[in-house]
Amino acid sequence: MPTRILLVDDEPRYVRLMEANLETEGYKVLKAYNGEEAVQLVAEQKPDLVILDVMMPVLDGFSACERIRRFSNVPIIFVTAKGEEKDRVHGLEMADDYIVKPFSATELLARVRAVLRRTSKSETVSQQSIFKHGNLQIDLARAEVFRDEHMVFLSATEYRLLLQLAQNIGRVLSPEQLLRDVWGDEYQGDKEILWVSISRLRQKIEDDPRNPQHIVTKSGLGYCMPVLEA
């Protein structure tokens, strides 16, 4: 079955352009023209990836992403004309990638392949067990995370980042290594996306994000999930 990608943009010309390029690469394209349609299609069709515009009528992309995250960790790439740093940071807190218009077909396809590749890697984890770290629990078979027995809803990238740290418990992972292993070689120099993702993940899994127990910063070195004393 071909990979299915949902395009969401209120500008038909962008939809047509992206659709043509994606179909050329063999992807199956679904289309929506506002945020409400996008939420409904994600729930009904369960696409493999969502490419989501930010500035749209009825329901904007950020709000649509928030609704989708309540029930799905489908990878999401924002595409938008809003290229200011604050918008980029906000977008990266919610989604897996952020592309500023105008962009080339080459850039779009490279980002799509990178996000899908990361998702594929996380889905091939064969461990059929439960990982526990203090009050945090990861069901590796179902890709579900619990904090104090309450489910925590993570984006696909947040889950892969947490899994990478858990699988290397006790080891300090450098920013470069995390960027390579979680995002891919294309993101080696993009430490901002790592900082934002670490911050967002801590907000979700830590009792006190300012004094983290699950994701600890090792100054000048990187990040570590420490081995807890029995």
pLDDT in tens, 9-31: 999 988 999 999 999 999 999 99
Element housing 85 (H / E): helix 85-94
CB 97 within 8 A of CB 160: no
- The per-residue pLDDT for 124 is 45
How many other β-carbons are positioned within 10 Å of the β-carbon of residue 104? 10
| Fold of the domain spanning 153-224 | Arc Repressor Mutant, subunit A (1.10.10)
Looking at this protein, which amino acid is placed at residue 72?
Answer: S
> pLDDT of 157-167, one tens digit each?
888 899 999 98
CA distances from 168 to 27, 63, 162 (A): 34, 34, 10
Q: Which class does domain 4-123 fall in?
A: alpha beta
Kindly report the pTM of this predicted structure.
Answer: 0.62
Parse the chain into domains and list their residue ranges.
4-123, 153-224
- The per-residue pLDDT for 130 is 85
- Cis peptide bond prior to 102, omega within 30° of 0: yes
Has residue 128 got a pLDDT over 70? no
- The per-residue pLDDT for 120 is 67
Has residue 177 got a pLDDT over 70? yes
